[in-house]
């Protein structure tokens, strides 16, 4: 591994769960649903890894990194968030809700649904890592509780590191495939448009229905939840950072990127908030 990629690692033992100030967050159920849902999505990373390893099976360095670092760190994120949720809301049947999420989501997570080429799928993975890095940046900034801010900062750092690896693999494949900027941009837009369509909805649905026996979670409930997130997004979402990360695989000329960045950031802000 190159020297500039060596970084300190962490474990759940580094998170001071006993110091959580529960009174600052326990009554805000939107935080519960957000964190429980995120814990499900992160924990399922072993399935995502199997799909990617199968797709990139000829690339020894990529598959080794996926198995030995990416999967382990992503699953750790899920376990760390699970521990936070169960520390603040100890009565929640996390395992039952997680199993419901897995059963519902597995049909949407298949190798044949990955990108049309190896380079374009790596570009799509950059979109996913952009989304998670931005998500945890927002959580770190919006959190009313200090231990959650610390946990979000650690996960955010991992996600940015993962983005750099996927981008490196993208460059290797792109050097051979030579996809046009138009084709790369189209694939990136497709992945952005697909974000949250299945995993976030199903994660929140299972968290809600286990937390509230006998009640059903509908697409309208999901839309209402996203509207409530608008205030956090408006004040804490790192739009400029996200747009820069999204644009990187397209490799726009520096002057053009500088010109379009503010426009795209404003457009993204309006699209997400409204």
Query: If you search the block for the tokens 């699970």, which residue do you land on?
Result: 82
Query: Which DSSP category does 26 fall into?
Result: T
Residue 3 confidence (pLDDT)? 39
Specify whether the CB–CB gap between 57 and 49 falls below 8 A.
Answer: no
User: pLDDT in tens for each of the 274 residues of the chain?
Assistant: 443 454 558 999 999 999 999 999 999 999 999 999 999 999 999 899 999 999 999 999 999 999 999 999 999 999 999 999 999 999 999 999 999 999 999 888 887 778 899 999 999 999 999 999 999 999 999 999 999 999 999 999 999 999 999 999 999 999 999 999 999 989 988 888 776 567 899 999 999 999 999 999 999 999 999 889 888 888 999 988 998 898 999 988 777 767 666 666 666 555 554 4
Specify whether the CB–CB gap between 160 and 272 falls below 8 A.
Answer: no
Residue 267 confidence (pLDDT)? 60
Query: If you search the block for the tokens 């739009």, which residue do you land on?
Result: 239
Supply 24's token pair. 């600052």
What top-level class would CATH report for the domain 19-273? mainly alpha
Helices (H), 56-180: 60-65, 71-88, 94-105, 118-142, 146-177
Distance CA 102, CA 198 (A): 12
């Amino acid at each position: 591994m190159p020297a500039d990629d060596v970084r300190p690692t962490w474990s759940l033992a580094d998170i001071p769960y006993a110091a959580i100030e529960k009174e600052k967050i326990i009554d805000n159920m939107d935080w519960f649903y957000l964190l429980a849902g995120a814990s499900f999505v992160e924990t399922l990373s072993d399935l995502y890894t199997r799909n990617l390893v199968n797709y990139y099976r000829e690339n020894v360095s990529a598959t080794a990194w996926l198995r030995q670092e990416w999967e382990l760190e992503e699953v750790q994120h899920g376990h760390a968030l699970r521990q936070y949720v169960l520390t603040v809301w100890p009565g929640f049947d996390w395992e039952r809700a997680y199993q419901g999420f897995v059963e519902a989501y597995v049909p949407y997570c298949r190798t044949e649904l990955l990108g049309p080429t190896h380079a374009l799928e790596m570009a799509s993975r950059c979109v996913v890592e952009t989304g998670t890095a931005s998500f945890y940046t927002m959580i770190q900034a919006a959190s009313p509780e200090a231990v959650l801010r610390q946990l979000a900062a650690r996960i955010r750092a991992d996600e940015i590191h993962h983005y750099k690896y996927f981008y490196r693999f993208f460059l290797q494949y792109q050097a051979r495939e030579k996809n046009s900027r138009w084709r790369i941009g189209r694939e990136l837009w497709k992945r952005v448009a697909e974000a949250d369509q299945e995993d976030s909805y199903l994660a929140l649905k299972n968290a809600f229905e286990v937390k509230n026996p006998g009640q059903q979670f509908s697409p309208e409930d999901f839309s209402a939840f996203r509207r409530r997130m608008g205030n956090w997004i408006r004040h804490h979402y790192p739009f400029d950072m996200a747009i820069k990360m999204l644009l990187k695989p397209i490799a726009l000329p520096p002057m053009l990127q500088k010109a379009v960045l503010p426009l795209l950031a404003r457009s993204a802000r309006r699209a997400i908030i409204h």
